[in-house]
Amino acid sequence: MARVQYTDWTVPVSQVGSRAGQRMELDRTFPAPPGIGDSIVGVDEGADIHVDGRFDSIVDGLIFTGTFTAPVHAVCSRCDTPLDGDWSEQVTAFFPYAEEQPDAKRGGKQDDDVEVIAGEDEAEDVYPLIDNGSFADLETLIRDTFVDALPLQPLCRPDCKGLCPQCGADLNEEPDHHHETTDIRFAGLEALKTQLEAQQGGEDTDGSSDEH
Ligand SMILES: [Zn+2]
Ligand SMILES: [Zn+2]
């Protein structure tokens, strides 16, 4: 038998797992598991994640429904404004009784293929109970919930104008902000444009004088 790992996120559920139609309330704070987000947007490892919900037992497992609330750190990806705050997610997940030890049954390659295909459809919100249905492990569910929920590029508002690329001024606060001096990267182009315009003007003058 594989050794069962009990962690900060394992919850004893054997009291509702014995038969269908029972309910167990869960109102507890868990430490945030590692791997939720990054320095732009995420939840710090070990931060308090409040879980408020319930396990309901059905024939082949437990249904968890509830709310996860986590302190999310974030900065606007355009203007760096801090957007820290509590973030709540509604969660529904299925914790089936593990039918048997996966290693004991799985052998051939075909089985693996079938498992992968089935997993694409239904594995996302399914977290098998461990130790013969005695414990639910919330670590993966907590991580998945917030990894899925957090935006890749958080914005302080949908139309954030960001920062001036030259001086870093906040363009939301200074909508008319601009620089008089020409950017050195465009100085050469400006000179060329002036030159072309001068040539163009000369040709036009020549052409009109020829016609008349
Ligand atoms: Zn912004
Ligand atoms: Zn500027």
Indicate the burial class of 145 (C-beta count within 10 angstroms; 0-12, 13-18, 19 or more): buried
Distance 171 CA to ligand 1 centre (A): 9
Cα distances (angstroms) measured from residue 188 to each of 48, 54, 182, 191: 56, 67, 10, 5
Position 204 in a domain: no
Position 91 in a domain: yes
The pocket of ion ligand 2, defined by CB under 5 A, consists of 164, 166-167, 169
Counting ligands in written order, the one closest to the CA of 181 is 2
Ranges under pLDDT 70 in the chain: 1-4, 99-124, 181-186, 202-212
pLDDT at residue 66 in the model: 97
Distance 85 CA to ligand 1 centre (A): 15
Both tokens assigned to 183: 């950017």
Position 203 in a domain: no
Position 166 in a domain: no
Helix (H, G, I), strand (E, B) or coil at 130: strand
Position 199 in a domain: no
Distance 163 CA to ligand 2 centre (A): 8
Decide: 43 and 73 in contact? Cβ < 8 Å: yes
pTM of the model: 0.69
- Check residue 152 and report its DSSP letter: S
Decide: 94 and 100 in contact? Cβ < 8 Å: no
Distance 182 CA to ligand 2 centre (A): 12
Distance 152 CA to ligand 1 centre (A): 14
List beta partners, residue 50: 29, 69
Position 160 in a domain: no
Counting ligands in written order, the one closest to the CA of 177 is 2
Domain that holds residue 131: 10-149
Position 41 in a domain: yes
What's the total number of domains in the chain?
1
Distance 177 CA to ligand 2 centre (A): 6
Decide: 54 and 22 in contact? Cβ < 8 Å: no
Position 173 in a domain: no
Counting ligands in written order, the one closest to the CA of 173 is 1
